[in-house]
Amino acid sequence: MSSFLSGRTILVTGATSGIGYETARRLAECGATVLLHGRTPAEARAAVDRLIATADVDADMLRPCAADFAHLDEVERLANRITAGYPHLDVLVNNAAVAAPERHTVTPDGNELAFQVNFLAHYLLTNLLEPVLTTDPGGRVVNVSSSMHRTGSIMWNDPNRTRRYSRLAAYAQSQLALTVFAADPRVTAVSVNPGVCETALRPLYGHEGATPSEGAAHVARLCDPAVEIVNGAYYDRSERMEPASGATEERTVKRLNKLADVLVGHSA
């Protein structure tokens, strides 16, 4: 078993199934301490127990943590618990995602569900974890995006899509926002499209996918400090490619930060 990640602490959001679960498995097998995030404490605990039973990992290397990303106050509490318990976090993998529902759905915070869970919650979590995210070489944020970010557009005047809602457009917007966020100069971050995999999101794509484990390999690779990254870079599986045009423009990044700050209630 390779232990090239020993001594490193990595948080994986949405780690109870699919690509997130397989990413957590790979990282733990390589020696990292993995904070395994789930929507509820029971789901996170069950995922940890399942990994201990089926993978070649030390139980001490896995720590369950929970927050429902449809509730931003839970995201804040999660960030507070992590900053209190871990003086430094080497990698944050922003992976949790939901398929946008058929009908327009708004969270208790007032945001469209997919935009909040897939992007705003990660935006808030990343900013709140900034004090503990290591600035050492190899420290980074990995945003798990999707090729669908290319079909997306951010509706600046109606990000919650109250006037015109389509689940595909809402999902694509959330993925585009997450991809743009990787170019934020405040943190060293990249985004990666792990490919279409057989997960709960697969029906959105309409064709068969690879296994979650194959997708997770592309995510885990970017967590390796030996893999040099460029801030804002976008990877399609293992190949670095240009993201959607404009996704890394400074103006777009600033505009998105301003919008997100307002929507998460952290306006400066």
100: CB partners within 8 A, 6+ apart: 112, 113, 114, 167, 168, 170, 171, 174
- Active-site position among 21, 123, 171, 235: 171
Sign, CA dihedral 142-147-153-155, equals negative
Is 171 known to be catalytic?
Answer: yes
CB 12 within 8 A of CB 25: no
First-to-last alpha carbon distance for the chain, in angstroms, is 46
Question: Based on the number of CB atoms within 10 Å of its own CB, is 24 exposed (0-12), middle (13-18) or buried (19 or more)?
Answer: buried
Query: Starting from the edge strand earliest in sequence, which strands make up the sheet with 33-38, in order?
Result: 62-66, 33-38, 9-12, 91-94, 140-144, 189-193, 234-236, 239-241
CB 88 within 8 A of CB 132: yes
Q: How far is CA 66 from CA 189, 231, 251, in A?
A: 23, 28, 34
Compute the distance between CA of residue 1 and CA of residue 17 in angstroms, rounded to an integer.
Answer: 23
Q: Phi/psi at 91 (nearest 5 deg)?
A: -140, 140
Catalytic residues: 171
